[in-house]
Amino acid sequence: MSPSTRPITRRTVMAGLAALPAAGLLRTPAAAQAADVPLGMVLPFSGATGPYGPDMKKAAELVVQQVNGGGGILGGRKLKLFIEDSESNPTIGVTGTKKLLEVNKVELVGGFWGSPIALASKPIILAANKVQMVSCAANAVTDGDNRGLVWRFQAKSTSWGPAGAKVMASIGAKKVVVLAQQNPFVVAMIEPFKAEMAKLGGSVTDVVMYNPDQPSYRAEVEKAFGSDPEGVFCLSLLTDFASIAKEVYRGGFKSKIVALSIGADAEGKFLQAVGPEVGEGIYHLQPAPPLESPAYKTFVTEMGAPAGTVFLFAGNAHDQICVTALAMEHAKSQDPLVWSKSIPLVCNPPGEEVADVVKGLEMIRAGKKIKFVGAGASCDFDAKGDQINRSFLVQVIKGGKNVTVGVIS
């Protein structure tokens, strides 16, 4: 019997299927639909900003677990998170960004504690037509034509300066000096600080700049504090501020200090480095999460932290993954050029407020308009991708502890 006339049996069919390439059997719509959605983050685990990386990682992973445990997005697809260590270094951060884009094929590169790292990585992410979400403050990050792909989960640098001036005024310091690290994040704070001090009846008598990672800051401290100003606004990160505070203590200077919490707190690392006597009386501020909101209190519990714990950057990382999942579900797409347009549609009012990402996904599928409220902020954005309506938490170090003074707008 010739092959053309041989009867087709079940055995013949099964043998033919067995001979097909395995990859061919996997290329079905159902299998493709179940593929992971890759997301990336560049976070610091060492260097000046290293104290914040672990909690940011934990918060992001928490959201991934919640979303995947709740059925995923886009018809059951799971989020897959890839994380690279920036080591608080722009060059290494760029290398991590390239790996996430080229090797892991991510649709989002988030995290970015540190404006120099975010700025160095931004053109690479935009060239790849992917979304960048940052937890840094330099105005330049959202400047220019970003095509709706860059989103800031943090207060802009220009907002920090006026907040610092209000703290200075509240403690009675009118003749003040600025001592600032040379980087785009803090430089943008100086002129708004000066302007707000003038509005409040004060003045800035000098601005002393320094480079990071110096072996000593004695000369800069003597210049800033030597004229005995009523206050010094210290725009520093953890490693340099620890050295500066020790120099101030050794020098016996009495000027009041207002600093950034990323220098004078850093998840408790500052007091560990300098001790309670050096830190005593230092005021510090940072953009505040919604401390009294149910969303924030739930987040603190989920992070396994004591009630009242102040997370800033961890909340931002949490919100970045939440917003990404919600926007993709709303857009019914993982294409960044498409789902990025849905970010303000799931974050800005009007809409029913929702903090639980799984509940938010369910509401979107049901055709409801939502307004996501995050753990780091209310997540309202302007047309440039900057968060608005941020407030600042003010604390002072007393007896080796950070004591809350209040919250200012």
**pTM (predicted TM-score):** 0.80
Q: Which residues pair with 152 in a beta bridge?
A: 134
Is the pLDDT confidence value at 245 over 50?
Answer: yes
Q: Give the mean pLDDT of the chain.
A: 91
Strand 283-288 versus strand 391-398 pairing type: antiparallel
DSSP secondary structure string for all residues of 64-94: HHHHHHTT-BTTTBPEEEEEEE-TT-HHHHH
pLDDT tens, residue by residue, 105-158: 999 999 999 889 999 999 999 999 999 999 998 899 999 999 999 999 999 989
Q: What span, in angstroms and rounded, lies between the C-alpha atoms of 228 and 206?
A: 12
Yes or no: say if 347 and 290 are a contact pair by the CB < 8 Å rule. no
Structural contact between residues 161 and 189, judged by C-beta atoms closer than 8 angstroms: yes
Give me the pLDDT at residue 17, please.
38
pLDDT single digits (tens) 351-367: 999 999 999 999 999 99
Is the pLDDT score of 6 beyond 70?
A: no
Work out the number of other CB atoms within 10 angstroms of the CB of residue 146.
Answer: 18
* Residue 219: other Cβ atoms inside 10 A: 12
C-alpha span between 12 and 295 (Å, rounded): 61
* pLDDT band for position 19 (cuts 50, 70, 90): very low
CB 323 within 8 A of CB 372: yes
Summarised one tens digit per residue, pLDDT across range 52-70 is: 899 999 999 999 999 999 9
**Dihedral of alpha carbons 87, 90, 95, 99, sign:** positive
Instruction: Kindly give the pairing relationship between strand 108-111 and strand 391-398.
Output: unpaired
User: What is d(CA 396, CA 355) in angstroms, rounded to the nearest whole number?
Assistant: 30
Q: Which of 23-32, 170-179, 309-318 has the lowest mean pLDDT?
A: 23-32
The CATH class given to the 34-156+294-388 domain equals: alpha beta
Per-residue pLDDT at 34: 64
Domain residue ranges in the chain:
34-156+294-388
- pLDDT tens-place string over residues 265-306: 987 899 999 999 999 999 999 998 888 889 999 999 999 999
pLDDT for residue 35 is more than 80: yes
In the DSSP assignment, the letter for residue 289 is: P
For the cut 70, the answer to whether the pLDDT of residue 88 exceeds it is: yes
Model pLDDT, residue 184: 80
Phi, psi angle pair for 66, to nearest 5°? -65, -45
And the tokens for 110? 């988030």
- Mean pLDDT within 37-57: 93
Could you give the percent of the chain with pLDDT greater than 90? 79
Confidence check: pLDDT of 31 > 70: no
CA 183/CA 118 separation, integer angstroms? 13
Burial of 40: CB neighbours in 10 Å, binned 0-12, 13-18, 19+ = buried
pLDDT over 90 (residue 338): yes
Phi, psi of 129 (to 5 degrees): 60, 40
